[in-house]
Amino acid sequence: MSRSLASILAGTVLSCALLASLPASADTLLVDRTRQATGVGVPARGMSMADVEARFGAPSERLDPRGGQKRQWPTINRWVYPTFTVYFERNRVIDTVANRATASEIGPKPAIR
């Protein structure tokens, strides 16, 4: 083995050992929190706006609709609840996204208002 290759390998091993000795820290990921939440009901894809409001109550905020300028661009409505945001295409649920619990939590950016 050449001298330069041996010094590179030794440096790599030393770097790994130093990194392993550092205290571990981790960010809270939104996806981890949503995986832990069991039994938390969210609107299912295909539910109507009336069904969502009947089951989950009135949203804390109804954001302005987006899209709809052309026929092939359907209007998207967004309702914000304390723990999730519901996205509707016309009047049917297309997706539900968990909201951040804290500002330090890493996850999707807040909805554009």
Average predicted confidence (pLDDT) for the chain: 77
Give the total number of structural domains in the chain.
1
Q: Is residue 6 part of a domain?
A: no
**Residue 104 pLDDT:** 73
Which residues span the domain enclosing 44?
27-98
CATH of the domain at 41: 3.30.1450
pLDDT band at 38 (very low <50, low <70, confident <90, very high): very low
Q: Is residue 92 part of a domain?
A: yes
**Residue 21 pLDDT:** 59
**Residue 76 pLDDT:** 95
Report the DSSP beta bridge partners of residue 92.
Answer: 48, 89
More confident residue, 47 or 68: 47
**Residue 64 pLDDT:** 94
How large is the average pLDDT for residues 92-98?
A: 92
